[in-house]
Chain A
Amino acid sequence: MTHLPIIVVALYLATAFALPLLGRVKKLHTGYFSLCIATAGLVMSLLTLFYVAREGTFSYFPGDWPPPVGIELSVDWVTVLMHLTINLIGLLVLFYCIEDLSSEVRPGHETWYYTLFFLLMASLNALAMAFDMFTVFVFTEICTLAACALVAIKPKALCVEAAFKYLILSTLGSGMLLLGTSLVYMVTGHLNMGLIGQLLPQAIDLYPLNILIALGLFIIGLGIKSALFPLHTWLPDAHSSAPTPSSALLSGLVVKLFIIVVGRIIFQVFGSELFLMIPIPEVILLFATFGIFAGSLMAIAQTDIKRMLAYSSVAQVCYIYMGMALVSQTGIQGGLLHVFNHAVMKSLLFLAAGAFIYKTGIRKIEDLVGIGYRMPLTMAAFSVGALSMVGIPGFSGFISKLTLAFGALEAESPFFVVVIIISSLLNAVYYLPIVLRGFFGRPATEFQWDKLPLLIIAPVLALAVINIFFGIFPGSLQELARLAAETWLP
């Protein structure tokens, strides 16, 4: 049972390499084959959850070499939560891929899309449990390259430009991560996060500058990759021009994993004492506050629906950063809860927007008037995502915002409660008009059902159901996020 997390990664890697060989078989078959593998991945991460719940968290040493020598993979509650998120969203997005891909990529490139998808999924799963700086770096690189390729696979000049921008900026981020790792290695002689964490309190007296610069490089480097506010410039282009499934994956999962890595570095390598000694939490809080407002304000100004959703991601990522930088347990719990909830909401919104584009070709927000009469189910699912984003009670977005607000109170900074409330109002400004105009605008046509392929409508509805379920019964997820937060800040 302890092998399950790494088997997921190895299985995804093996599938990624095997798919080009199977590509000779009909394209639909590779799609269904991928679905089987992704389902197996989800089942394995559920089994890991049950195993960890019964036997407790554990560390895994590939090759049976324990740490200073070997690699450590930490299967703790953060890992379990992230694996569930990644594999659940990945599976649902994969369902959507099968029908949608033929309209997004060149004919014959579908198999390559699945290869990139599995490379991305493998690296995300590995990033969630990597407890070793160099493993983090390696999988960061795989993740970055796969994500860039997932944007560039669409044969449009806009996508190539966006992917190039993304590639340049995130390679800069990787470079900073590597430089920071080498600076920490220089003073501690270890790459394992736990061992670095033990040595840093002594090392900070001897080499304060090295360690401060390393922390700065980690936060800026991973901040670029996870689109922390002033470093977010690549995100709107990449996420809005990419094929719809890629947008859902990039917005829902990829940026989150880098936040998890930042969290591990802050809380498990540097530790909260060291982190609080330097005014870095304040800086992150400042960035996050600006980002929440700026992201929402820029989203209001957009006319393209996918671009609007991408700017909304900029704001939502800042919520998660805010939760972590509050350095209170409830704050971190809210942040981790928002990782899951935002992954569900944003992939729901992207897939629903993709369904509008698939059926009608409409990308402009003002043309979506009366879309609720033509695609009622999709629009209902979109509304669930939109209301959840705004934070209406009964939807999962409300739960994570509430927990974040409690976290702000626990950290004795009620200012951030005000930030959350105002930004929720700003979210309402750009999400609700779409819902209202979609359902109550002047209908252009007679009422009709969606008439979408089952594989497109099913994942959208499934995500909406998951969203409402965790909005009404948040208990189990709250408990999981609380346990994960305890791993970071006991």
Chain B
Amino acid sequence: MHDLVLQTVAKLIIPFIQLFGFYIIFFGHLSPGGGFAGGTIVASSFILYALAYDVQAGFKRMPRLASKWLESMGALLFVLVGFAGVAMGGSYLANHTGLLDLGEAGTLISGGFIPLLTLAVGVKVASTIISLLYHLLEEKTNV
């Protein structure tokens, strides 16, 4: 399927979708949203790309292996950041140990490693949704 209108609009709108998705992720500790919502938005831009151009073009942009790696890495990052709390003498996932500055509430660089965790969730959710789409599309071609 090669629809010029769809492809042009997709080309124009995808950067903004991704920007908005990352905005939601990075402001997760300040405003409604966070890793799950932001990750879904980022993933939707890849889904739009794969649908507007072609699945093969989508595979080129975001290879399966990359999304598999990101999926594992996002979840691993979350678990490992939790260990940092233990290593600094607090509980698992403890944020008050002074490893990362808690900063001033309401500013972007604040909240210790919470932004890191929302980023990990965002990466994990985005790559999982892309993987799910790939599974659905692949099933269609296999039959």
B68-92 near A? 1/0 per residue, CB < 8 Å: 1101110110011011011000111
**Which residue from B68, B73, B79, B90 sits with its C-beta under 8 Å from A10?**
B79
Q: Which residues of B sit under 8 angstroms from A7, Cβ to Cβ?
A: 83, 86, 92
CA distance A18 to B85 in the complex (A): 20
- CB of A432, distance to nearest CB on chain B (Å): 48
A18 & B72 in contact (Cβ 8 Å cutoff): yes
* Closest Cβ neighbor of A63 among chain B residues: B93
Task: Return 8 A-B CB contacts under 8 Å, by A number.
Answer: A3-B92, A10-B79, A10-B83, A17-B72, A20-B72, A21-B69, A60-B91, A63-B94
User: Distance (Å) between the CB of A369 and the closest chain B CB?
Assistant: 44
**Top 8 closest pairs, chain A to chain B, by CB:** A17-B75, A14-B79, A63-B93, A64-B94, A64-B91, A6-B92, A17-B72, A17-B76
- In the complex, how many residues of chain B place their beta carbon closer than 8 angstroms to a beta carbon of chain A? 20
Q: Check A62–B86 contact: CB distance below 8 A.
A: no
Given contacts A63-B90, A63-B93, 13 further A-B contacts (CB under 8 A): A3-B92, A6-B92, A7-B86, A10-B79, A10-B83, A10-B92, A13-B75, A21-B72, A21-B73, A60-B91, A62-B91, A62-B93, A64-B94
Tell me whether B76 and A18 are in contact (CB under 8 A).
Answer: yes
Contacts of A447 in B (CB 8 A): none
Contacts of B95 in A (CB 8 A): 63
Contact with B along A11-31 (1 / 0, CB 8 A): 001100110110000000000
A-B contact count (CB 8 A): 49
Residues of B within 8 A of A64 (CB): 85, 90-91, 94, 96
B75, B79, B80, most chain A CB atoms within 10 A:
B79
Q: A112 to nearest B CB, angstroms? A: 11
Residues of B close to A6: CB separation below 8 A = 91-92
How far, in angstroms, from A167 to B29 measured CA to CA in the complex?
A: 34
Main secondary structure of the interface of B (DSSP, over half): helix
Contact B80 A14 (CB under 8 A): yes
Closest to B74 in A: A17
Residue among B69, B91, B94 with the most chain A CB within 10 A? B91
Closest chain A residue, CB of each to CB of B90: A64
Q: Considering the chains assembled together, what is the distance between the CA atoms of A18 and B68 in angstroms?
A: 11
Q: A10-B79, A13-B79 are in contact. Are A63 and B91 (CB under 8 A)?
A: yes
Note all chain A residues with C-beta closer than 8 A to B92: 3, 6-7, 10, 60, 62-63
B89-120 near A? 1/0 per residue, CB < 8 Å: 01111111000000000000000000000000
Choose among B68, B90, B93, B95 the residue with the greatest number of A CB atoms under 10 Å from its CB: B93
Decide if the interface of chain A is mainly helix, strand, loop or mixed.
helix
Give the shortest distance, in Å, between B116 (CB) and chain A (any CB): 14
Contact of A63 among B69, B73, B75, B85 (CB under 8 A): B85
Chain A residues near B69 (CB, 8 Å)?
Answer: 21
- Nearest-Cβ distance from residue A214 to partner chain B, whole angstroms: 28
Q: A473: CB under 8 A from chain B?
A: no
Asked if A50 CB lies within 8 Å of chain B CBs, one says no
Chain A residues, Cβ within 8 Å of B91? 3, 6, 60-64
Give the CA-CA distance A17 to B90 in the complex, in Å.
Answer: 24
Q: Which residue of B lies closest to A13 (CB)?
A: B79
B93: nearest chain-A partner, CB-CB: A63
**Residues of chain A contacted by B76 (CB below 8 angstroms):** 14, 17-18
Shortest beta-carbon distance from A42 to chain B in Å: 20
Question: Which A residues touch B93, using CB under 8 A?
Answer: 62-63
